[in-house]
Structure 1
Amino acid sequence: MADHKHGEMDISVQEKTFAGFMNWVTKGSIVIIVALILLAMING
């Protein structure tokens, strides 16, 4: 079995994927909030 040393693995792909995921979640949340505000203004 190979010895594992903490912090030696290349995680650049995982970091890029997570950054993209967070970007989509942030944009999606903003769209949902704006849509709810518009619905409240139209039906209010």
Structure 2
Amino acid sequence: MAEHKHGEMDISVQEATFAGFVSFTKWAVIAIIAILIFMALVNS
């Protein structure tokens, strides 16, 4: 079994994937809030 050396793995792909996930989640929450506000205003 190979020896594990901390901090040697290239994680740029994982970092980019996580950044994309955070960005998508942020915009999805903004869109949901906007839809809920629109629904509340139209229903009044």
The verdict on a shared fold, with TM-score over 0.5 as the criterion, is yes
Structure 2: runs of 5 or more not aligned: none
Cα deviation, residue 33, structure 1: 0.2
Shift of 1:21: 0.9
- 1:41 and 1:6 mapped to 2: Cα distance? 54
Indicate the SS of the match to 1:2.
Answer: coil
Aligned pair count?
A: 44
TM-score, length basis structure 1: 0.92
% identity of equivalent residues: 59
Q: Deviations over 1:1-44 (max 9, x none)?
A: 11001111100000001101111110011000000001001102
Q: TM-score, normalised by structure 2?
A: 0.92
Q: How does 1:1-44 map to 2 (within 5 A)?
A: 1-44=1-44
Residue segments in structure 1 that go unaligned for 5+ positions in a row: none
